[in-house]
A and B are shown apart, each in its own frame.
Chain A
């Protein structure tokens, strides 16, 4: 039987926890991923005094993502991938804005350089088609890689959980993931170049 004092403690504890939950989630994310993100951005941009602002901006955007809590519990890697892509997009945005300010000739050259390797018609395949390509690759993959890949990327489980579930080492999980990622990305690339060839 739980005593009345204990119950009251629980209630107080829980209302405080509710209020602080969103802040806590962000704080935990920041503790976990803030430093890697900062060093990633520093390596991309060199030493700058606005790095901390940039990091904060990335987290601000992350905070608005759906199901943040769930994702964080299950798979830190997904959160990290979001952070890195958001960070990278912010860098590209900033570059573009600078280019607009610069003279036309300079900006055009820089813009062309930057975009020459980016979105070309053959890389634009609809999201649905893309998922279908990924799915087909998954179906053809060796069973052990596939299991690891699905648990990690579809069920968003951590490598540790996967290693426990499958009875292999965490290192082995990472190896299988690398192989599976290469397999899927090979298939996506092949489909894209096929597309370019056909059309």
Chain B
């Protein structure tokens, strides 16, 4: 049970951290920031990696999770980079 309390503590701190980080961002950067933050949410990939190797059903679920999380990670970072390169040209 102590572990869950600790995890709850981390969750609470990260909620405040998110508010602090995003609060003062200029509105022109909202879209790339949203896309970048979405790419970070692809960290679920780490969880997906730990799933594989325990029977056929589990491997199928793990493969699906890894596949979609990878699309999110790779696509997210590249799209953010493209958006930001558009800013530079101005």
Do A and B form a real pair? no
